[in-house]
Structure 1
Amino acid sequence: MSNFSFKEIQGDLFVDSDENDALAHCISQDLRMGKGIALSFLKKYKGVDELKAQKKQVGQVAYLLRENRYIFYLITKSNVNDKPTEENFEKSLVDLRNLCEKLNVQGLSVPRLGTGLDGLKLEFVKDVINRVFTGCNIRITMYYL
């Protein structure tokens, strides 16, 4: 029995998300988080050396554990100035689903993944999230300001 749900709500990811939810956002493999929401994650959770040590590639997900909460970093492109391909974005979501299942994550809060500086279309992002996570026992909440 799948309990997958996906909703989008207006609010601040860092303020309004359920404290038990894992968080996720997109970054580049070079781990340069200098703009956008990635900069907010960097300031809040630090951990660049921990992420580097995981040696993750494009299409994979690195993560930190902070105050009993997983922070997932979807690696969707090689360099900070690149744009992710739809294929690499989807690969990173598949890896995220596998990690969520392995770590028994039941709630996931995300920004509008890949749509800001990365320029992916929101409808594409929502479609891929629904396709990848259908059949999974997870509640995903996407926040926008």
Structure 2
Amino acid sequence: MAEGGSNKTGFHLEEKKGDLFTCPSTCSLAHCISEDVRMGKGIAVLFKKKFGGVEEIKKQGAKPGGVAVLERGGRYIYYLVTKVKYSNKPTYDSLRSSLEAMRDHCLKHQVKQLAMPRIGCGLDLLKWDEVHLILVETFHETDICITVYTL
């Protein structure tokens, strides 16, 4: 995928104010869900409306600490399964494990650009400082550029 004339390689994490869904169409997207694939609150509702695929996600059978993946419009949509039920809260360990699963998929499929909200920090109440650190620890040895969007 072209990176707009940029010849920069290596991991990069950028935070940006704005709507996640305005990211370039070359970016793969990620957010957190529960194993029951409810997606009834928060940004998950928008993912469900925009990309559908609830049955497709359920069929993949991802457990907490795993990731379900949809392919839409030449990019991947990552569903980080971080808890069993929508009413549960994830742990930093389940988030880390889901991020590692996503990283491995990204590397296998040459994904270079990822866009996501402050994952786990909205309704799930994880602390961004800790999540940011986990993102850096998980992706620092890749050449994936991650843009984190906040409204």
Quote the residue 1:61 is aligned against: 67
Query: How much does 1:108 deviate?
Result: 0.2
Identity among equivalent positions (%) equals 45
Deviations 1:46-76 (A, max 9, x none): 0011111111111000010111111000000
Determine the C-alpha separation between the residues in 2 that align with 1:31 and 1:3. 33
Equivalent position of 2:20 in the other structure: 13
Unaligned runs of 5+ in 2: 1-8
Q: Match of 1:71?
A: 77
How far does residue 18 in structure 1 lie from its aligned partner after superposition?
1.5
Does residue 139 (structure 1) correspond to residue 130 (structure 2)? The answer is no
Corresponding residue SS for 1:56: coil
Confirm or deny that 1:91 pairs with 2:108. Answer: no
CA RMSD of aligned residues (A): 0.8
Distance 2:103 2:76 in 1: 13
Inter-partner Cα distance in structure 2 for 1:58 and 1:101: 21
Tell me, which stretches of 5 or more residues in structure 1 are unaligned? none
> 1:54-103 deviations in whole A, cap 9, x for unaligned?
11111000010111111000000000000001110111111111010011
Provide the TM-score with structure 2 as the length reference. Answer: 0.93
Amino acid at match of 1:86: Y
Report SS of the residue matched to 1:76.
Answer: strand
TM, length-normalised to structure 1? 0.97
Provide the C-alpha distance between the structure 2 equivalents of 1:18 and 1:6, rounded to a whole number of angstroms: 16
Q: How many residues align?
A: 143
| Partner of residue 117, structure 1 | 123
Moved over 4 A (4+): none
The alignment partner of 1:23 has SS state of strand
Q: Is 2:34 aligned against 1:28? A: yes
Structure 1 counterpart of 2:6: none
